[in-house]
Amino acid sequence: MDHDHTAQIACAELLAECLRPPAIVSVSTWADDNRMLSGKASSEPGRWRTDRTPYLRQILDDLSATSEVQEVVLMFAAQLGKSEAGNNWTGYIIDHEPGPMMCVQPTVDMAKRFSRQRIMPMLEDTPALKRKLSDNRSRDDANTMLLKDFRGGVLVISGGNSAAALRSMPVRYLFLDEIDAYPLDVDGEGDPVALAEKRTSTFSRRKILKTSTPTIKDFSRIESAYLQTNRCEYFVPCPHCGEHQVLRWGADTPHGLKWRKHEDGSPDLESVHYICAHCGARIDEHHKTTMLAAGQWRAQQVAVRAGKATGYHLSALYAPLGWVAWPDLVNQWHGATTAAKQGDVTRLKTFTNTVLGETWEERGDSVATSDLARRAEPYPVGVVPFGGLLLTMGVDVQADRLEYRLWAWGRGQESWLIERGIIYGDPAIDEGQTGSPWDDITARLTAPVPHAHGHTMAIRACAIDSGGHHTQQVYAYSRTHQHRNVLPVKGSSSRGKSVLSKPTEIDLTWRGQRVPRGVKLWIIGTDVAKMVLYGRMRLTAPGPGYVHIPAELAKTDEYEQMTAERLVTKYAGGRPRLEWIKPAGRRNEALDCAVYAYAAAIWCGIERYTDAQWRQLERNSQKTAAPVQQPESPPPPQPKQPDFYPQRRRQQQTRPIW
């Protein structure tokens, strides 16, 4: 056959294909008819059968071209076939609904592995797909590991850690796999999921599939996506009474998964069974196949975008027979709870995420707001209690306001929160100009602070955050008030960095030489500082290190702000690292100010004070007249709140302070 003739036939085939109306087919039908599971990628090679994982059928059908659904969210335990659902969808698109598609894995390395171990075997072993790609044999460069060109579309495989890849092209179909493992921020361009989603905005008939096993509560992307959907749970009928129910872990409930224990507390794995929530009868695992087949997804709420976003949650209790069995799960539970009793919760966390498919509430290094509230004491705000011997101030610079906290320090670095101030106004306005919030900072810095002994105290040092907004303004203010020990500070999250490290010169001449008596920028190891403060907030008895807070601030969100952050384990490149995180939308200025005030106290040398120095401070503190107030006495009625703000500022405030 000559070349022209071959081309003609190819053309005719193509024309015939274009003219043929597409058969209305769903992803599940397509997969049952076409998909072959490779021995390389599957423990059950051969023809795909949706019946094997009946809970995937509705999900695959949401992904079909005939469905109105635009976003499908799978919050699943590990190993239930959620990635296969995505692979089937990918195959269906290549074969049946061609268009530009992107598949995102957590990292570029994982994307390469995914391409090699999942996508390539699927394309190779599924004849319908092999045909679609065969055109490209002559131009191999169109098909690389991360790019598959097919008739009518293209599949790009990328990593959640590459901003360049995520904004490479507009796509109609987006498969975001294991989204909880993506980095929080990609190349300084923000959330990789949001970045990828933007790629679909030009397509009105777009579809997005998000899958993941969940991770930490409040930080789990898949959970927050799931909560926006109709939240489907899989209800299966009891083989005895026929009532439908969601399969639950039964450790703390009268029904659910149950087992007997041996004398040493270990589970009798032979005894593992399920107790029906409706009739209380025993359900054995072999019933599961028929229960799954007769199961149905039931929405637990109306989705935020009704009809457009569907979400599915599934635990490992639903794993088909022959996959992970109930006794294995009980065994994992036993190991995890035993370790947790000894203080190691990592396995319990893994169990919660990968078996129950639920988020884990991190309790690691954090302080409960209620615990902090419980230790509140009735000392008056704005007055230094007995024991407070040194005063420092921490200032946090926000776009529309300055926030400060005043802290007193005593022997053994025992500390007292003295005052909270929020000054609205644009920090870009120079001190002395109308509307400048800096004037109020100066007023607070220079006003003497009353002490419970009756004398007054001056603020010894003040650290101001220069890392966020208005860096130059902070430098300028620090320069003017250097003689009052005003220090510009900047947080560094380098691991293990000490609370206060060597400063850098910021006032340089045009030759790059330091200006005599110029301003220095002090670097704060915020991670370590927070760890120290949180450790101190957990101390239960007053004494060295103890943190005192005034009960009066209970009416504010001060305690919530102080406890806003949590130390969690994050994985970067497979390695765990500790990171402080704050739930979205939660304010933490109080904690930041506490860190700055603490750094200022360290700058004063509080860590190196000798007993003689403390005694001197105590003598200074007792020189004056009779105490004005005893901390043991019941809180006297406060005549008036300490006036944090000059009257003119009060009128400018747009939001309430308390």
- Site for Zn ion, rule CB under 5 A: 238, 240-241, 276, 278-279
- With respect to Zn ion, which residue has the nearer C-beta, 238 or 247? 238
Give the nearest distance from C-beta 340 to Zn ion in angstroms.
32
Contacts of 439 (CB under 8 A, 6+ apart): 431, 432, 646
10 Å CB burial of residue 371 (0-12, 13-18, 19+) is: middle
Contacts of 104 (CB under 8 A, 6+ apart): 111, 157, 158, 159, 160, 166, 174, 175, 176, 177, 182, 192, 196
- With respect to Zn ion, which residue has the nearer C-beta, 190 or 242? 242
- With respect to Zn ion, which residue has the nearer C-beta, 40 or 278? 278
Q: Which two tokens stand for residue 461?
A: 């040092």
Of residues 93, 217, 110, 125, the one with CA closest to residue 161: 110
Distance CA 558, CA 396 (A): 14
Q: Enumerate the β-bridge partners of residue 283.
A: 274
Q: What phi, psi does 340 have (nearest 5°)?
A: -65, -35
Of residues 503, 527, 529, 507, the one with CA closest to residue 516: 507
Of residues 198, 193, 203, the one with CA closest to residue 65: 203
Give the nearest distance from C-beta 210 to Zn ion in angstroms.
34
Give the nearest distance from C-beta 243 to Zn ion in angstroms.
5
Give the nearest distance from C-beta 327 to Zn ion in angstroms.
21
Distance CA 594, CA 563 (A): 11
| DSSP H helices in 382-485 | 438-446, 471-480
Distance CA 82, CA 76 (A): 7
- Beta-carbon neighbour count of residue 332 at 10 Å? 18
Distance CA 1, CA 9 (A): 11
Give the nearest distance from C-beta 278 to Zn ion in angstroms.
5
Q: How many helices (H) and strands (E) does the chain have?
A: 21, 27
SS3 labels along 212-281: ECCCECCCCHHHHHHHCCCCEEEEEECCCCCCEEECCCCCCCCCEEEEEECCCCCEEEEEEEEECCCCCC
Give the nearest distance from C-beta 23 to Zn ion in angstroms.
41
Residue type, 608: R
- With respect to Zn ion, which residue has the nearer C-beta, 203 or 235? 235
Residue type, 455: H
Give the nearest distance from C-beta 240 to Zn ion in angstroms.
4
Give the nearest distance from C-beta 236 to Zn ion in angstroms.
11
- With respect to Zn ion, which residue has the nearer C-beta, 93 or 272? 272
- With respect to Zn ion, which residue has the nearer C-beta, 238 or 553? 238
Contacts of 623 (CB under 8 A, 6+ apart): 455
Contact 535, 504 (CB under 8 A): no
CA-CA distances (angstroms) from residue 350 to 9, 319, 361?
57, 17, 12
- With respect to Zn ion, which residue has the nearer C-beta, 250 or 394? 250
Give the nearest distance from C-beta 249 to Zn ion in angstroms.
18
- With respect to Zn ion, which residue has the nearer C-beta, 238 or 423? 238
Give the nearest distance from C-beta 209 to Zn ion in angstroms.
34
Give the nearest distance from C-beta 29 to Zn ion in angstroms.
33
- With respect to Zn ion, which residue has the nearer C-beta, 281 or 306? 281
Of residues 464, 436, 498, 422, the one with CA closest to residue 596: 464
- With respect to Zn ion, which residue has the nearer C-beta, 217 or 240? 240
Give the nearest distance from C-beta 241 to Zn ion in angstroms.
3
- With respect to Zn ion, which residue has the nearer C-beta, 256 or 410? 256
- With respect to Zn ion, which residue has the nearer C-beta, 147 or 279? 279
